[in-house]
C-alpha cells in the first residue's frame, strides 16, 4: 500500500483507479452461459454445477429437511446474533415505508402516489470463499416488508451439494422457502429466463464476482431489472490525528479481506499518521485467516496525504466510495460536505463491519464510483411508485383549457380532442 503525498487533482483519477474489469473477456464467458441456460434450463444448471462447483446434484432445490436441519447445525450464539441483526434491519427498513401521497393540486384534480411491491424478485447470495448469510438479511428482510409476492434465493452449493446452514437458517427465519443450489452467472441466467426449478423474476438483487456482475448487466437486456451496477467491494477511510491508527487499520483490512480485487483507501492530513496506520496494517495482517487475499487487495490500494481539508473532501466526492468512514475532529462539518458515498460511518467507534452485519442499514451498496448516481439497496428498491389521477367535471373545466393549449402547440390534435370532446359534453348536458 503506497503513500501519495499531496497528489495533484489532475492525477487523482489515475492514482485511485479501481482494478480494471476485462469486460470483453468476461462477456465472452458469460454470454454462452446465458444462452445455454435459456435454451436448456435445468439441464444446463446441473451441468454447470458439475463444471464449476464440482458437484453432481440430485436436486437443484433445497429440501425442507435441509432447511430444518440448518438450525441445529448453528451455535446458539450465532442464531441469536442473526436474530438481533434481523430485528435491527427490520426496524430501520420498516421506518422507510412512505405513506400514500394524496394531493388535490387544484379544485377537482386529485393526484395520488403509492408504493406497490415488485412482484417477483431474485436474491443472489455469494457462497464461495465466504458464505454471506448477512446478505440474506439485507435483501430478504426489505423484500418481505415490501410484500414481494415471490422471492427466489440462489446460492452455490459446496462440493457435498450442501448450502451453508447459516444461509438456510437465515432464509427460513425471514420466511424464504424457494432456495436454489446454483451460483455464478448461471444463477442470474436462471432467474432471468426461468427454468423448471427456478421461477423467472422481475428484478435481481445481490453482490457477486465479476461474472455475476456481468450476467446481471446482460440480464437488463432481457427486460429484467437489477439493484445496481456493481464491482468489487471498497472502503475509504478519512482520518486525522484524532483517529486511532489501530482502528483505521482494522477497518481497511476488514474490507481488503473481501477479495483480491477489493480496494481500500486511506485519506489523511499527515504522512506521519499514514505510516502509523501502515505499521498497524502489517501487524494485524499476519493474524488474519484470509491474509493472502487481503495482501493482494492491498496491492490495489493507496494512502493519500492531503494537508488541505477541502481538497481531501473533494477527492472523496470524486472517488465516490461504497463505504466511507469518517474519523476526524470536524465530524459534522465533514459529513455535511459529502455528496457521493454509498454508506457513511461516523466516528472512532463506528466500524464498517457494524453496517455490514447488524446496525440496521443495508450493506448492498454501489461500488466502482456508482455512488455518484445510485443509492444502496433500501425498501424503495423492492417497490415501484405508481401515480394516479382522478378529475371531476369541475376539475376538467379548470384544467382542460391548459391541456388544450399545450397539446395544440405541440401539434398533437388527438391529445387536445380528448379534452375538448369531454368539455363539450359537459357544456351540452349542463354539467
Q: Is 164 domain-assigned?
A: yes
Q: Is 125 domain-assigned?
A: yes
Are 328 and 414 found together in one domain?
no
Q: Is 377 domain-assigned?
A: no
Are 184 and 252 found together in one domain?
no
Q: What is the pLDDT of residue 232?
A: 83
Strand partners, 114: 386
> β-strand 323-327 against 203-205: which pairing, if any?
unpaired
Are 353 and 293 found together in one domain?
yes
Give every CB contact of residue 246 below 8 A, 6+ residues apart in sequence. 280, 284
CA atoms within 13 A on the CB side of 50: 10
Q: What is the pLDDT of residue 217?
A: 94
Are 89 and 62 found together in one domain?
yes
Last residue of some domain: 212, 230, 248? 230
- Phi, psi for residue 125 in degrees, rounded to 5: -120, 110
Q: What is the pLDDT of residue 20?
A: 75
Are 186 and 283 found together in one domain?
no
Are 6 and 32 found together in one domain?
no
Per-10-residue mean pLDDT for the chain, 431 residues long? Answer: 94 90 88 97 97 94 94 95 98 97 98 98 86 95 98 95 95 96 97 97 93 94 92 93 97 93 95 97 94 93 96 97 97 97 97 96 94 96 98 98 98 98 97 92
Are 272 and 153 found together in one domain?
no
Residues 147, 150: Cα–Cα separation, whole Å: 9
Q: What is the pLDDT of residue 255?
A: 93
Domain that residue 352 falls in: 2-19+232-360
Q: What is the pLDDT of residue 326?
A: 98
Q: Is 382 domain-assigned?
A: no
pTM: 0.93
Are 32 and 75 found together in one domain?
yes
Residues 321, 45: Cα–Cα separation, whole Å: 35
Last residue of some domain: 230, 256, 288? 230
Residues 150, 12: Cα–Cα separation, whole Å: 44
Binding residues for NAD(+): 124, 186, 209
- CATH number of the domain that residue 423 is part of: 1.20.5.1300
DSSP 146-160: HT-SEEEEEE---TT
- CATH number of the domain that residue 296 is part of: 3.40.50.1980
Are 60 and 78 found together in one domain?
yes
CB atoms within 10 A of CB 105: 11
Last residue of some domain: 312, 344, 360? 360
* Collapsed DSSP state (helix, strand, coil) of residue 68: helix
Are 73 and 215 found together in one domain?
yes
Q: What is the pLDDT of residue 259?
A: 86
Q: Is 35 domain-assigned?
A: yes
Q: Is 239 domain-assigned?
A: yes
Q: What is the pLDDT of residue 137?
A: 98
**Domains contained in the chain, number:** 3
The string of pLDDT tens digits covering residues 379-404 is: 999 999 999 999 999 999 999 999 99
Are 103 and 15 found together in one domain?
no
Q: Is 222 domain-assigned?
A: yes
Binding residues: 124, 186, 209, 233, 255, 258, 323, 356, 410, 415
The string of pLDDT tens digits covering residues 125-138 is: 998 667 899 999 99
Q: What is the pLDDT of residue 21?
A: 72
Q: Is 351 domain-assigned?
A: yes
**What residues are annotated to the active site?**
322-323
Residues 284, 286, 288, 291, CA torsion sign: positive
Are 69 and 145 found together in one domain?
yes
Binding residues for Zn(2+): 255, 258, 356, 415
Amino acid at each position: 500500500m503506497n503513500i501519495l503525498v499531496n497528489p495533484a487533482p489532475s492525477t487523482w483519477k489515475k492514482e485511485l483507479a479501481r482494478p480494471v474489469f476485462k469486460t470483453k473477456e468476461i462477456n465472452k464467458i458469460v454470454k454462452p452461459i446465458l444462452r445455454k441456460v435459456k435454451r436448456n434450463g435445468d439441464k444446463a444448471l446441473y451441468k454447470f454445477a458439475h463444471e464449476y462447483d464440482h458437484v453432481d446434484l440430485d436436486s437443484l432445490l433445497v429440501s425442507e429437511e435441509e432447511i430444518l436441519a440448518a438450525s441445529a447445525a448453528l451455535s446458539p450464539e450465532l442464531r441469536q446474533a442473526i436474530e438481533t441483526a434481523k430485528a435491527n434491519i427490520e426496524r430501520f427498513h420498516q421506518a422507510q415505508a412512505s405513506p400514500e401521497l394524496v394531493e388535490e393540486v387544484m379544485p377537482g384534480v386529485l393526484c395520488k402516489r403509492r408504493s406497490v411491491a415488485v412482484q417477483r424478485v431474485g436474491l443472489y447470495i455469494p457462497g464461495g470463499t465466504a458464505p454471506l448469510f448477512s446478505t440474506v438479511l439485507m435483501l430478504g428482510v426489505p423484500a418481505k416488508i415490501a410484500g414481494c409476492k415471490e422471492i427466489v434465493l440462489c446460492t452455490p452449493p459446496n462440493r457435498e451439494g450442501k448450502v451453508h446452514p447459516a444461509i438456510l437458517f437465515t432464509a427460513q427465519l425471514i420466511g424464504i422457502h424457494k432456495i436454489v443450489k446454483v451460483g455464478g452467472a448461471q444463477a442470474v441466467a436462471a432467474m432471468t429466463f426461468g427454468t423448471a426449478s427456478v421461477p423467472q423474476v422481475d428484478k435481481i438483487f445481490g453482490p457477486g464476482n465479476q461474472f455475476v456482475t456481468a450476467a446481471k448487466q446482460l440480464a437488463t437486456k432481457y427486460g429484467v431489472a437489477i439493484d445496481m451496477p456493481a464491482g468489487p467491494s471498497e472502503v475509504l477511510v478519512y482520518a486525522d490525528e484524532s483517529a486511532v491508527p489501530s482502528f483505521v487499520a482494522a477497518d481497511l483490512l476488514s474490507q481488503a479481506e473481501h477479495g483480491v480485487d477489493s480496494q481500500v483507501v486511506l485519506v489523511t492530513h499527515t504522512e506521519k499518521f499514514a505510516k502509523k496506520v501502515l505499521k498497524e496494517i502489517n501487524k494485524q495482517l499476519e493474524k488474519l485467516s484470509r491474509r493472502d487475499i487481503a495482501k493482494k487487495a492491498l496491492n490495489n490500494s493507496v494512502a493519500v496525504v492531503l494537508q488541505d481539508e477541502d481538497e481531501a473532501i473533494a477527492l472523496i466526492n470524486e472517488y465516490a466510495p461504497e463505504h466511507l468512514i469518517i474519523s476526524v475532529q470536524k465530524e459534522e462539518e465533514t459529513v455535511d460536505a459529502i455528496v457521493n458515498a454509498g454508506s457513511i460511518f461516523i466516528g472512532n467507534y463506528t466500524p464498517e463491519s457494524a453496517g455490514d452485519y447488524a446496525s440496521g442499514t443495508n450493506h448492498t451498496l454501489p461500488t466502482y464510483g456508482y455512488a455518484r448516481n445510485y443509492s444502496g439497496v433500501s425498501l424503495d428498491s423492492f417497490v415501484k411508485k405508481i401515480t394516479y389521477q382522478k378529475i371531476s367535471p369541475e376539475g376538467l373545466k379548470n384544467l382542460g383549457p391548459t391541456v388544450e393549449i399545450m397539446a395544440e402547440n405541440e401539434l398533437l390534435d388527438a391529445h387536445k380532442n380528448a379534452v375538448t370532446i369531454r368539455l363539450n359534453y359537459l357544456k351540452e348536458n349542463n354539467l
